[in-house]
Structure 1
Amino acid sequence: MQEAEDMIVKMKEEGVLPDSLTYTLLIDAYGNLGLTYSAFDVLKRMFDAGCEPSHRTFLSLIKHLLNKKYVKEKGAVTGLYLVSNVVDASDTWKMMKYDIIVEFFDKMLKLGCSPDANTYEKMIIGICKVGNLGVAQRVFDRMQIEGISPSGTIFNALLSCCCTMKKYGEGVELVDDMIRSGHLPQLESCRILICGLYEEGDKEGGLSVFQSLLPCGYYHDEIAWKIIIDGLLKQGLAEASSELFNVMEKSGCNFSPRTYSMLIEGLDAT
């Protein structure tokens, strides 16, 4: 490790600034030796140098916090097995509990590295990708309590996770929160959400989400194709398709001739 640190010094002397990968490799090396304090100290050096930690940086730190916890709970052999076998990023996110994230943030704060919006974004996206919705929502709540406004990327990651996990009620609330915050929900997630709500018999929920999309800024053709044609009609939900088509007409939505023709043909065919 001393040789590695000396190399960092030499790089700087030669005018080669260490990048995110360089710092992350150093963090991982300290973590593998069980020196988590030194690993977090490298994180502070990253921030002080104006170098943005990557997704991989946070994963490395969290992996070693998980290892430390396993060593305390189940012994050093189990902990060593964890570090040597967790090579896939998704494995780390899957094993993560909320208490590990709290410990991670606490260690950052002690070093004067307050978690910012970018840190939260990387954490929430990673957790959502493995379907760990409960943990992602708690991190999201903490973010808001600390007064950090979620980005559209975070909202859409959570919405996609809700749809994947078929947590449609949470998805409806999330769409409402997104729109109030001035963010556009992804139409692909909305398609899954609306179809899922109708399939579960929640007609009011599906209609509510659809109506909230109309004034959001999407072209009406986009909504018609993605939600009605590519969504409800393809899944055989003819009654729902007809209902939402009528809602769009009554709302004064403007369709291109091709879209209008496809809607009519699709509804007639069912």
Structure 2
Amino acid sequence: MCRWLAYTGNPISLETVLFRARHSLIDQSLHSKLGATTTNGDGFGLGWYQHPHDIPYRYRSVHPAWNDRNLRELARAVHAPLFVAHVRAATHTPVQETNCHPFRHRRWMFAHNGLIQSFPLMRRELLLAIDPGRFNALEGSTDSEAMFYLAMTFGLEVDPVPALERMAGFIEATAQRHGIEPALNMTVFASDGEQIVAVRYSSEHNSRSLFHSTSFKHLRELYPDDPRIAAVGEDAYLLVSEPIVDLPEAWAEVPESTAIVVRGPQIEYRDFKPVAP
């Protein structure tokens, strides 16, 4: 399907996790171990914040991530305290820049791995539910971007987790009316620069893979000579579709039907329960 990662912590070079790690996101674009597809070469995207209240920067391309020389230069140059990166494996929609993640609206970014089952059959009904004031911001044709603007419609900017629950519930209710089962499979990332909100959920309770880093303070005690761990700081936090390094005790799987909210050193885990309209 797709692979993505998100980071918050001390400002670090994007190259550190995109290229230097043993099973980096670039490696996953060619050799995914846990994804629905081994190769994720239908474009990629980066989004990052230099300061929490700024509009995020973004770079997207239809090139395979492993074959874009500009990506390597950019990743080496940019240092950021919060960023997301995504490599795409297309499903229903074409390979074009506007279909590459992350999607952006004002301060918010959104990335997704998974799918809405039979999205073309429900597309018109789902798009008509998007707030008319936001509808013209749609640029592409993916189910992922539709999910983002549905979440915005349901209050992502005000209360992110309930908005995502309403988005998922609306999709499932729409699918039920069309006789589509299961409806939804997703791991999603959303951020406004001050927080990361992530969800692992699927209608059949068999979601795409998602892992989070364990305590970096604990990891510094276990691996005091590892410069990668020292650089990120004790409050750093990573979310990854697949572990990027093989350090024991470095990763834990995000449980099914779980939402995570990360605000600096504060990390909250919640049950994720879709709310039907």
Structure-2-length-normalised TM-score = 0.27
Structure with greater contact order relative to length (CA < 8 Å, sep ≥ 6): 2
Per residue, is there more helix in 1 or in 2? 1
Per residue, is there more strand in 1 or in 2? 2
Q: Which has the larger radius of gyration?
A: 1
